[in-house]
Amino acid sequence: MALTRDQLAQRVAQEFRDGYYVNLGIGIPTLAANFIPKNMNVMLQSENGLLGMGQFPLDEEVDADLINAGKQTVTMVPGAAIFSSAESFAMIRGGHVDLTVLGAFEVDCEGNIASYMIPGKLIKGMGGAMDLVAGADNIIVTMMHASKSGESKLRTQCSLPLTGKGCIKRVLTDLALMDIEGGKFILRERAPGVTVEEIKSRTEGALLIPDHVPEMSFA
């Protein structure tokens, strides 16, 4: 079975470590905040100038001056800090954020990512995504393995305008967890019940299949 949105978020959360500063993109990455293990302290960075983002506010706590990068009202955790956008991207570009999780339209086996524009169709802008992929060393891209019509999003070469060049090393899809190395996707884990053959048939880019590919486990 392909992973649900919650399972994708849960698998992302398995990459968290105690003491990590993490930037979560809009969508599935944001959901990963719901699965931070209880015995772990993770500080969420929101690129509009907040380190230590908390949960959504109660109705009476809503503050128009306190939002996240998706423009949603949020709260702050104890120990939070506020700063300008320039300072925020100094943190990001300077490599101070431990883990970045973001979505994409396509990733290719050279580590290129396309996530911000579909010419003639969707031109909303890259927001902070280009800075995030250029600045972070530890990035996980989460996305669907194939489009609704079955077309692979794990390409030999991205067909859409790039957000970043050669910067993605790890991709989590609804079918598999893969690393990108030496011009190939390397299959690391399968979604429970999904076969290597199915992953292979839905991956356009070069795929290296190790002898043993374990199923993901969700405790």
Q: Which stretch binds other proteins (CB under 8 A): 10-18, 34-42, 45-53, 178-186?
A: 45-53
Smallest CA-to-CA distance from 200 within 170, 219, 176 is with 176
User: Is 47 part of the annotated catalytic residue set?
Assistant: yes
Grouping H, G, I as helix, E, B as strand and the rest as coil, residue 46 is strand
Smallest CA-to-CA distance from 107 within 47, 195, 173 is with 173
Residue with tokens 């839905």: 202
Query: Of 19, 34, 41, 83, which lies in the binding site for other proteins, with binding defined by CB under 8 A?
Result: 83
Q: How far is the CB of 69 from other proteins (least distance, A)?
A: 8
Contact in structure between 167 and 130 (CB atoms under 8 Å)? no
Binding mask 87-126 for other proteins (x = CB under 8 A): -xx--xx------------------x----x-----xxxx
Burial of 76 (0-12, 13-18, 19+ CB in 10 A): middle
Which lies closer to other proteins via its Cβ, residue 24 or residue 177?
24
Q: What is the DSSP string of 145-187?
A: SB-TTS-BSEESS--SPPSBSS---EEEESSEEEEEETTEEEE
List of residues 6+ apart from 30 with CB closer than 8 A: 24, 70
Q: Which stretch binds other proteins (CB under 8 A): 62-70, 99-107, 183-191, 201-209?
A: 62-70
User: How many chain residues interact with other proteins (CB under 8 A)?
Assistant: 51
Q: How far is the CB of 191 from other proteins (least distance, A)?
A: 29
- 166 backbone φψ class: left, alpha, beta (φ>0; ψ -120 to 50): left
Residue with tokens 């979604």: 191
Q: How far is the CB of 27 from other proteins (least distance, A)?
A: 13
Q: Which of 15, 47, 151, 215 is catalytic?
A: 47
Say whether residue 142 binds other proteins (CB under 8 A).
Answer: no
Which lies closer to other proteins via its Cβ, residue 84 or residue 195?
84
Q: How far is the CB of 133 from other proteins (least distance, A)?
A: 8
Q: Which residues bind other proteins (CB under 8 A)?
A: 46-50, 55-59, 62-68, 70-74, 76, 82-86, 88-89, 92-93, 112, 117, 123-131, 134-135, 161-166
- Catalytic center residues: 47
